[in-house]
Structure 1
Amino acid sequence: MKLQSMKVSLNLKILKVEGTWTPTEKEREAAWELYVELVTRISVVEFKDKEGILREALNSLYSIFSITREILRRYGPDVAIPRGEREYSFGELAIMILNYELRLLLTKWHPLLQEYEAKKKPEVSIKEYEDKWKRNTEMRKELNETRKILIQYSNLLAEVAKVKPFYKPSKDTIIAGEDTFA
């Protein structure tokens, strides 16, 4: 059973995705699974200055790769069938988010943070050490930029799954023109 056609508009780091998605029932189920994973991680929660641990945020985002792969394997090729120009499937969108948003963030920040972490003395807490890192603010800014994309994506997944978002974003995360949280 096909569901209502949805407008897709995502501004990824190196790719703008514009078009439509008319999900099948299998895609709706896959969207629900991935939606639950996204909204229960740091991926859509504001990463405020001096809160949280950077390494844990990166690890949480990295885990989305294996989760997405598992969902894609479980639902099979039916959720990734190409439909035409600017007509997307769950599989296409999921892979675009991984490769053109998350991968770019993680390949930049994993090694930079790892290099800094290698110099930490055992008596200093991880939090204290990360807070002193000269690139802390820059990394948090990029995490929050990625978070905004993931909020757009999770909103789309919620719409396909026919649920309202389970989290209450801060005012800066509400995307212009969307009144989902009013």
Structure 2
Amino acid sequence: MGHRQRRRRRPGGPAQITAKLAIPFVGEISGTWEPADAERSAAWELYLELVTRVSVEELDPDEGFLREALSSLYTFFNTTREILRRYGPEVAPPLAPGHVSFGVLAVTVLNRVLRPLLAQWHPRLSAYESQRPAGRDPVAYERDWEHAAALRREITAVRATLVSLARTLQEVANVSDLIDLPAPRAPRSPGTSADGGTPPRRSEGY
């Protein structure tokens, strides 16, 4: 009897989607995207970069570190440019009116979303950080910054665009949701109920 042949998943995905991205404080970009194979591969790479960074994680008011978020966005900026260079013109073909491509979406996010945020806030935060007294906790010092709330609001707005981009890339790459993953459950000890207590004693007649 011959060995069982392993099935390989064929690359694929939707032939066409409607892409729409909100640009903070500017408007939105939308259009029809008919992705080529190179765009699907690039979409997976960029999607993976997004879901493994602070870029798409929500910063709660009393949690998170603004410097870490800015650094993550800065690295994502450079990584996106590397992906565009690696795949070349195939991910930015000439388009009919009302259509978009991987290149159009990626460059729009770089130039209209990330660049303005980083250009304005990176030097301002760096200047404030340079004045931190020796021995002062950097997180506490950052939260005392008078502009911390404003920067946090802008990062939140940018995050919404990046999550929207990630959802679009997920659809084109035809992969599962890696953003809203279920939280792992704590292991249960034998003899305990789901809430961690002792399981109730079964009554007579049950």
Name the TM-score class by shorter chain: 0.7 to 0.9
Partners of 1:30 and 1:15 in 2: CA distance: 25
Equivalence for 1:45: 57
- Counterpart of 1:72, as a letter, is L
Structure 1, 36-45 or 14-23: larger mean CA deviation: 14-23
Q: How does 1:38-77 map to 2 (within 5 A)?
A: 38-77=50-89
Deviation at 1:76, TM superposition (A): 1.3
Describe the SS at the equivalent of 1:19. strand
Equivalence for 2:106: 94
Query: Deviation string for 1:136-168 (max 9, x for gaps)?
Result: 111111111110111000000000011122122
TM-score if structure 2 supplies the norm length? 0.78
Deviation at 1:131, TM superposition (A): 1.1
Partners of 1:120 and 1:17 in 2: CA distance: 40
| Unmatched segments (≥5 aa) in structure 2 | 1-11, 182-206
Moved over 6 A (4+): none
CA contact (8 A) 1:43 1:150 kept: yes
Structure 1, 126-135 or 30-39: larger mean CA deviation: 126-135
Structure whose residues are more often helix by fraction? 1
| Unmatched segments (≥5 aa) in structure 1 | 170-182
CA contact (8 A) 2:14 2:174 kept: no
Describe the SS at the equivalent of 1:56. helix
Identity of aligned residues (%): 44
Query: Deviation string for 1:75-125 (max 9, x for gaps)?
Result: 111111121112111111100000001111111111111121111012101
Q: How does 1:1-182 map to 2 (within 5 A)?
A: 3-13=14-24, 14-168=26-180
Partners of 2:179 and 2:46 in 1: CA distance: 15
Count matched residues: 169
- The CA RMSD measured in Å over matched residues stands at 1.6
Describe the SS at the equivalent of 2:172. helix
Describe the SS at the equivalent of 1:76. helix
TM-score if structure 1 supplies the norm length? 0.88
